[in-house]
């Protein structure tokens, strides 16, 4: 998305993501196979409405968009800031985003493409690299943290989005050939799990003279469902392990209703660009490899466009039925998984906060909920803002607090760069496997602890426990324990490997940062089920804080 609008009863929307085409090259990358929780093991596939890993375990993608490759910069935005590119990924993983959706344009992957807008002092390792070489580095580092990556062909060129998957300058043949090249480039790296074929196909022209993307109309030049089959099957011919993410359209006919002619017969059921999958049940996307299809709608709030449903007297009670109609039925009827590829808001209108809270509740909690990638990490998304603030380092806590209960942190091999440069703080990638309790003696002099409740909701809460080593020596490896009242149970944790046994919670040091120096502090974040309660009987190893 970059900007979206809608038209009267036709309810179309302009979005802010980017589409991209591919460049030939084979890259020697180091595959990062995620651990068996969070983002799963090996490549992913589908089973009914679930995404599952190579062992059959259910995986929920709870990710974020980081855009820029689709723009004139041809690389990630925010590389101009004082935070390193690694520091930004560290923060995303720490917050619990286990998947990165990366928009790009065909321009950014052409031979000779040049990346601009990079702070060479902060990111000296990116000097002279092409956009694809920078993408390689981001994918490798994200994979080392247990994150997964979805590539999003956002735009044919950096000039802007297109209603169809091809333009006069970028043919369908080029679109498919570039996708095949990208699939080959990352064929041996399971960090990259799939292709979002084209961003936000949408209506154009006024009915009955429609010229935009339709669904199920049978016109091969405009039927997005048929085009998705052609591209998806071509990609699977090269990389049969990828998931194929297919967005919706805006109006199934491919044309805008003429809402000014007072003729209701010309009006039809239209929604957000890319957000209307109402015909996918009747006209499903058919792929040659079974269990690879994921439907990926987009959904936005009033800061993008004030759709009629936001002013319905029953709002927000009317929203679940709208979501059911456009895309939720695919999940509820066990037809296919849903991965909501974009959704976002500035939260400036009170209705938007209600929208986001209700939308997240609609997706469901825990690993069995619908997958999603929030729009966006970038603070420079004009009509949504970002999770990152304008410094590209600190976080918009109002948004993060709403999303946090639904995030499942990535599970990976840890941070290979324990002392990153720049302002990005190192972060752990928690796993669900228990860790043995360290036996290092308590620090001489003890510890102090402080607790901050970040958020609370019906049936759960989010908090941060900060523990400082006030002793005279380092604690290596460190472990923090605390007690909760009966009935309070851990949902997720970060900055440590957090587990619970009975009423005792243990936060064990991550492998990449096992030592807590004298005078140093560690902050363990978590979400929990039950009535909000402060940690009690906090200990650093065996020292009571």
Tracing tokens 């049940």 back to the chain, one arrives at: 281
* CA distance linking residue 528 with residue 532, whole number of Å: 8
Listed as ranges, residues in the chain with pLDDT below 70 are 1-37, 258-267, 412-445, 510-512
Give the pLDDT of residue 259.
58
- The β-bridge partners of 374 are 64
Contact 395, 90 (CB under 8 A): no
Give the pLDDT of residue 151.
98
Nearest residue to 155 (alpha-carbon basis) of 111, 112, 107 = 107
Give the pLDDT of residue 269.
86
Give the pLDDT of residue 377.
98
Give the pLDDT of residue 202.
97
* CA distance linking residue 45 with residue 193, whole number of Å: 9
Contact 85, 126 (CB under 8 A): yes
Give the pLDDT of residue 1.
61
Going through 66-119 in order, the beta strands assigned E by DSSP cover 99-105
* CA distance linking residue 215 with residue 490, whole number of Å: 43
Give the pLDDT of residue 429.
29
Phi, psi of 529 (to 5 degrees): -95, 145
Query: Edge to edge, what strands does the sheet with 148-155 contain?
Result: 293-295, 243-246, 192-196, 148-155, 99-105, 62-65, 371-374, 339-340
Catalytic residues: 200, 342
Number of residues in the chain: 545
Tracing tokens 């390689």 back to the chain, one arrives at: 136
Contact 14, 3 (CB under 8 A): yes
458's CB contacts (< 8 A; 6+ apart) are none
Query: Tell me: the pLDDT tens digits for 7-21?
Result: 333 333 333 333 332
* CA distance linking residue 284 with residue 366, whole number of Å: 28
Nearest residue to 525 (alpha-carbon basis) of 472, 443, 467, 478 = 467
Query: Could you tell me the CA-to-CA distances from 390 to 16, 78, 394 in Å, in that order?
Result: 18, 9, 8
Q: Which residues of 323-340 are buried (b: 16+ CB within 10 A; e: fewer)?
A: beebbbbbbeeebbbbbb
467 sits in which H/E element: strand 460-469
Query: How many Cβ atoms from other residues are within 10 Å of residue 208's Cβ?
Result: 9
Instruction: Kindly report the pTM of this predicted structure.
Output: 0.73
Give the pLDDT of residue 462.
81
In degrees, rounded to 5, the angle at the alpha carbon of residue 63 between the alpha carbons of residues 59 and 65 is 150
C-beta pairs of 313-322 under 8 Å, 24+ apart in sequence? 315/351, 315/354, 316/354, 316/355, 316/358, 319/355, 319/358, 319/359, 319/362, 320/358, 320/362
Give the pLDDT of residue 542.
86
* CA distance linking residue 412 with residue 526, whole number of Å: 18
Give the pLDDT of residue 463.
86
């Amino acid at each position: 998305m970059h900007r979206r609008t809608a038209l009267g009863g036709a309810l179309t929307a302009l979005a802010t993501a980017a589409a991209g085409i591919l460049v030939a090259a084979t890259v020697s990358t180091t595959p990062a196979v995620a651990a068996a929780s969070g983002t799963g093991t090996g490549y992913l596939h589908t089973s009914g409405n679930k995404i599952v890993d190579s062992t059959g375990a259910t995986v929920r993608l709870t990710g974020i968009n980081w855009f820029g490759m689709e723009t004139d910069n041809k690389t990630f935005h925010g590389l101009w800031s004082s935070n390193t590119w690694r520091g930004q990924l560290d923060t995303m993983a720490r917050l619990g985003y286990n998947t990165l959706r990366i928009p790009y344009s065909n321009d950014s992957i052409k031979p000779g493409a040049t990346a601009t807008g990079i702070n060479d002092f902060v990111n000296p390792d990116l000097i002279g690299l092409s956009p694809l070489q920078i993408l390689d580095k981001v994918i490798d580092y994200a994979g080392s943290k247990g994150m997964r990556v979805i590539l999003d062909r956002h735009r044919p060129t950096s000039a802007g989005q297109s209603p169809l998957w091809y333009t006069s300058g970028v043919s369908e043949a080029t679109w498919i050939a570039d996708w095949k090249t990208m699939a080959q480039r990352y064929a041996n790296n399971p960090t990259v799990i799939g292709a979002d074929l084209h961003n936000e196909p949408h209506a154009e022209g006024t009915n009955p003279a429609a010229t935009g993307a339709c669904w199920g109309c049978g016109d091969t030049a405009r039927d997005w469902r048929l085009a998705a089959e052609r591209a998806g099957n071509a990609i699977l011919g090269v990389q049969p392990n990828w998931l194929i993410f297919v967005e919706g359209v805006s109006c199934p006919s491919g044309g805008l209703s003429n809402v000014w002619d007072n003729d209701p017969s010309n009006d039809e059921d239209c929604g957000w660009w890319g957000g209307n999958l109402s015909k996918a049940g009747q006209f499903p996307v058919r792929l040659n490899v079974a269990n690879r299809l994921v439907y990926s709608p987009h959904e936005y709030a009033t800061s993008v466009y004030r759709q009629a449903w936001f002013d319905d007297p029953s709002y927000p009670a009317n929203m679940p039925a709208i979501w059911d109609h456009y895309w939720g039925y695919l999940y509820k009827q066990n037809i296919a998984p849903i991965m909501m590829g974009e959704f976002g808001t500035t939260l400036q209108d009170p209705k938007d906060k209600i929208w986001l809270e209700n939308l997240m509740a609609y997706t469901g909690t825990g690993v069995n909920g619908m997958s999603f990638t929030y729009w966006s990490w970038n603070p420079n998304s004009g009509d949504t803002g970002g999770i990152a603030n304008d410094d590209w380092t600190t976080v918009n806590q109002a948004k993060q607090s709403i999303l946090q209960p639904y995030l499942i942190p990535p599970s990976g091999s840890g941070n290979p760069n324990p002392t990153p440069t720049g302002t990005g703080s190192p972060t752990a990638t928690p796993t669900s496997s228990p860790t043995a309790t360290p036996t290092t003696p308590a620090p001489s002099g003890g510890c102090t602890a402080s607790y901050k409740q970040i958020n609370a909701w019906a049936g759960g809460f989010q908090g941060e426990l900060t523990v400082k080593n006030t002793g005279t020596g380092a604690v290596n490896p460190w472990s923090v324990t605390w007690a909760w009242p009966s009935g309070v149970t851990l949902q997720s944790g970060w900055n440590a490997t957090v587990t619970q046994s009975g009423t005792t919670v243990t936060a064990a040091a991550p492998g990449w940062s096992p030592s807590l120096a004298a005078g140093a502090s560690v902050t363990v974040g978590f979400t929990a089920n039950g009535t909000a309660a402060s940690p009690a009987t906090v200990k650093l190893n065996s020292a009571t804080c």
